[in-house]
Amino acid sequence: MSAIAVFINPRSGRGHARELWEALSRSEPRLQSARVVAAPDAQRARDELVRVLGEPAERVLVLGGDGTAHLVGNVLLDLGLGAKVALGVIPAGTGSDLARALRLPAGPRAALARALDATPWKMDVLLVEADDGRRRHVLNVASAGISGLVDQAVNALSRRGTLAYLSATLGAVGRYRNVPCRVTVDGDVWHEGEILLVAIANGATFGNGMKVAPDARPDDGAADVVLVGPIPRWQLPLRLPQIYLGTHVHARYVRTGRAQRVRLEPLGPFPPFDVDGEVFAAAAATVTLVPGALLVAA
């Protein structure tokens, strides 16, 4: 039985992830006997991956974007394999923010070489636990506010180009209304009132390159917290370039910190939370940093 499993999102890279896999597998002998999962929907993919991981594996390679890595990471952690099976990422999706956090090379062949040959190391993850019992592990960024609207817009697209997140963000700016939220950081109430965004970050970027938390690192044992308060609507398009540069953290309407645990309590109607670019229905929830929970080959 091969020690390598491969998970392919057939929709990633505008449908080219499978073609990429075929090209990579032809050029790398170690992939000839790999166990491959390429299911058309998330539930079937999860079920098939659980079945494949019933046999021992040393590495799981992921061809896809952040949502694909999110799914595979959650399966590994839910099965208790997070510290036993190394996750290797070959970026092939709309957003590649986890790849940026892991400092992976941009080219797929170089990323494959890293995934196969790098000495695995342990990265932190975030555990989101809603009061209604739902839970999700987050590899890169969990956030609340306008980001949920952006995720909804991007995930509704049948084809996602490189400007999908920028276009969705500009659209969300026109629809979003500041929402009230209580934010508690390591037991202390940090903010109570309207927000544009609050991000709990393990990696520095989200939204395909927006530097929401420019100093965040996935192995430093703490989450970076960035809260953006209400901004006049007319200023939002003008302020948007700042988040791509990471300079927004110096603005007077932004508060930053570091934490082990963040509590989010929506105080009214609220858009869904963002978890690695996927939506998670908003509810009172606690986000906890779990140090060194996931083994990665990067």
How confident is the prediction along the chain (298 residues), in pLDDT tens digits per residue? 469 999 998 666 566 777 888 888 888 999 988 999 987 788 898 999 999 999 889 999 999 889 999 999 999 999 999 999 999 999 987 678 999 999 999 889 999 999 999 999 999 999 999 999 999 999 999 999 999 999 998 888 766 666 788 888 888 888 888 899 999 999 999 999 999 999 999 999 999 999 999 999 999 999 999 999 998 888 888 888 999 999 999 999 999 999 999 999 999 999 999 999 999 999 999 999 999 999 999 9
Which residues neighbour 11 within 8 Å (Cβ) at sequence distance 6 or greater? Answer: 17
**Distances 111 to 184, 263, 283 between C-alpha atoms, Å:** 38, 35, 37
Which residues neighbour 182 within 8 Å (Cβ) at sequence distance 6 or greater? Answer: 189, 191, 192, 263, 264, 265, 267
For residue 158, the model assigns a pLDDT of 64
Nearest in space to 166 (alpha carbons), one of 209, 226, 205, 213: 209
Distance CA 190, CA 114 (A): 40
Tokens of residue 28, six digits? 């790398």
Alpha-carbon dihedral angle through residues 211, 291, 105, 114, given to the nearest 10 degrees: -170
- Whole-model pTM above 0.85? yes
For residue 86, the model assigns a pLDDT of 97
Domain 127-292 fold is Tumour Suppressor Smad4 (2.60.200)
Q: Look at the block and give the residue holding tokens 């090209």.
A: 23
Per domain, the residue ranges of the chain are: 4-119, 127-292
For residue 279, the model assigns a pLDDT of 96
Strand, coil or helix: what is 138?
strand
Which residues neighbour 255 within 8 Å (Cβ) at sequence distance 6 or greater? Answer: 190, 191, 226, 227, 229
In this structure, how many other beta carbons lie within 10 angstroms of the beta carbon of residue 265? 17
DSSP strand pairing (179-185 vs 141-145): unpaired
CATH superfamily of 4-119: Probable inorganic polyphosphate/atp-NAD kinase; domain 1 (3.40.50.10330)
Tokens of residue 285, six digits? 């929830």
